[in-house]
Structure 1
């Protein structure tokens, strides 16, 4: 039997909620940001229009008013770096939609959608009025692009040092016997005991990092060397990720979020070197799913399954200099697939369970609001309660099992933005499979 919403939690939400207008400038959230150097902006699904729109609005203000220098997304490094070149006014792409064409892997709508296009065009237009060192960037934190990152490393070395390229091609040739499917590599090396390519990718990363450290101080040279080194890091970490994927869900999840945290740290160090501001730490906005950005220690994924995530790692390393912001919704529609690799659909989102955090937010009667959670807060937000997570896959028929987990909201986030009714975002390519689906986890998790 489903429990009713907790009246004490409802009262606490009503007391603390800061109502938001439809076109709210998010002044209250910017006050919470203060001097933070990392602001992590989440989402409760990978396919909700309002989550992307509000993140973009907040990020625009952080870049323009709070001296934030970059956006880092839950996307692969080489695909996002192509967008980075576009927003910085270099490269050959003529539009944001063209610059986003690198995001070809399922789910394409996660970054190839109208809200991301609008933000990328805004960032490029703003950068055009700034000198190159002051222009803001767009980067990726994820690790699924093992083969395209190998190709990027080789392309860089072919131009910079053909002999080094020959050596790295021999090392990366270790992967040839497994074909182009990274999961085949994981299956053969993880479960079946085939010799791995671990030593080859570690040696290549060491070489590329040495080259990056020795790069000339010219911005173009250091950027190119840094890009190549980050691709080599991705290959090294992706090799370990795929090798562990068939052995332990916990291990592969942890490796993925450790990679995100390491990439974020490398990016912050690179931007600090580029700025020449000495001890001043660069400021970065992160866009990713709530499950990556909310502190895992406050959820059953950390408490029962031993999983860590980016939000936890950032808090451990940066403390109060990081602000973790979650997003939630009660009902509406979402762009998602019914299975991995399936066509995107506009799905109806089942109204949230009354005994969930989302149910409590809805019962407050406030349709759109910011809920500050940092510092002194009612003990009711320390109580574990169900929370919903929709990734690129949505299965409403098994929603309780597929999409809910327990979380202590007050320890998970520093603030929550609740938008009671939301709608599906608009993919750039709907395709013949785009359709509405009435209601009754990135691979393998869907988030």
Structure 2
């Protein structure tokens, strides 16, 4: 699992791409799974795996990303990596081609539409269940906040319709084709999103846990789908990748995919790698749905992990943490910078940091003292959608 301290830093993307290329070429890794939506990433997956119904250039698939923040995956750094993946897959047999998949939970309406399109052509008997779920959500006009609010005001929701749809698709998916797996996964997204929005409306920390549990379950389904010996590279924010038990997230009752993977597979089968920077620039917005900007990343605040490394480490470094040594840097709790898609550099003195025991949160750490902003594709988002992990957006 390869983290990032922001969703808008060039070096985090290029370093993860370089590591992933070596894992694929030298260690036979099976797929890359990212903190992105399943339907959007499925179009990229079809392109990089050279499907006949997909564009030859993955850039064309990335150009269809519409959900804010589009720059998170629709950027030149991802174009470079997915083009490399397309070329790599051209040199191997089709069953050995490396996939690109989304783990996240937000694409409720997009996934419902994908389900209906697929079922009408391939499994008409299941269409009534899908239509029932779609019609239940239809009054909310693709506004997740309105649905979430409605579930608080009246004792009705779409949970039963979603469960009926999911059960029917799950029963038929186990031994079927890629198309069947994709429609099942879209149903899992619908189920996860419906639960996420209901819990988000109630407030508190549970919606974060619903989201990371969904990502963990999706990763496990993919590993089982790829078969015995499958290995995955995960790209997500440090707040998802780094073990939550080594941060103040645990005090708040929050879990994440790094912790869940260690618990599910064992710590010897999981490598968690964090990323950090001291100063530079980043792409972010100053409010949810705001235009993206190249913002300054000011020098880190006093006594933070980043200040310690700025004073003591090389300009670029990889730290691999020994399990049998107890170094102060690995066992002391230090503030560790976390920048979301909504960012206010002027709040560095009191926000944007997660107290962290570095050697317990990660197995290794990539350090870039001075970093620069990612290079977004010039797209126009069509929907603000829900306030994802508001206000930080990680």
| TM class, shorter-length | over 0.9
1:7-406 equivalences in 2 (<5 Å): 40-90=1-51, 91-189=53-151, 191-215=152-176, 222-272=177-227, 280-302=228-250, 304-319=251-266, 320-380=268-328, 381-406=330-355
CA apart distance, 1:171: 3.1
Runs of 4+ in 1 over 6 A off after TM superposition: none
Q: Are the counterparts in 2 of residues 374 and 415 from structure 1 also a CA contact under 8 Å? A: no
Q: Are the counterparts in 2 of residues 392 and 442 from structure 1 also a CA contact under 8 Å? A: no
1:268-322 per-position Cα deviation (integer Å, ceiling 9, x unaligned): 01111xxxxxxx33000000000000000000011x2110001000011122100
1:48-82 per-position Cα deviation (integer Å, ceiling 9, x unaligned): 00000000000001111101010000001111011
Partner secondary structure for residue 378 of structure 1: coil
- CA shift in 2, pair 1:214/1:372, >3 Å: closer
Aligned partners of 1:104 and 1:419: how far apart in 2? 30
Aligned partners of 2:155 and 2:141: how far apart in 1? 14
1:144-184 per-position Cα deviation (integer Å, ceiling 9, x unaligned): 10000001111110111223213321233111222211121
Partner secondary structure for residue 300 of structure 1: coil
CA apart distance, 1:365: 4.2
Aligned partners of 1:238 and 1:399: how far apart in 2? 32
Q: Are the counterparts in 2 of residues 74 and 287 from structure 1 also a CA contact under 8 Å? A: yes
- CA shift in 2, pair 1:80/1:374, >3 Å: farther
1:20-65 per-position Cα deviation (integer Å, ceiling 9, x unaligned): xxxxxxxxxxxxxxxxxxxx00000000000000000000011111
Aligned partners of 1:253 and 1:237: how far apart in 2? 12
Aligned residues: 385
Tell me what 1:37 maps to.
none
Residue range with higher mean Cα deviation, 162-171 or 199-208: 162-171
Partner secondary structure for residue 299 of structure 2: coil
Partner secondary structure for residue 301 of structure 1: coil
Tell me what 1:415 maps to.
364
1:420-431 equivalences in 2 (<5 Å): 420-429=369-378
Partner secondary structure for residue 378 of structure 2: coil
Q: Are the counterparts in 1 of residues 70 and 379 from structure 2 also a CA contact under 8 Å? A: no
Aligned partners of 1:329 and 1:299: how far apart in 2? 18
Aligned partners of 1:67 and 1:348: how far apart in 2? 38
CA apart distance, 1:213: 2.2
Which blocks of at least 5 consecutive residues in structure 2 are unaligned? 381-386
Q: Are the counterparts in 2 of residues 245 and 252 from structure 1 also a CA contact under 8 Å? A: yes
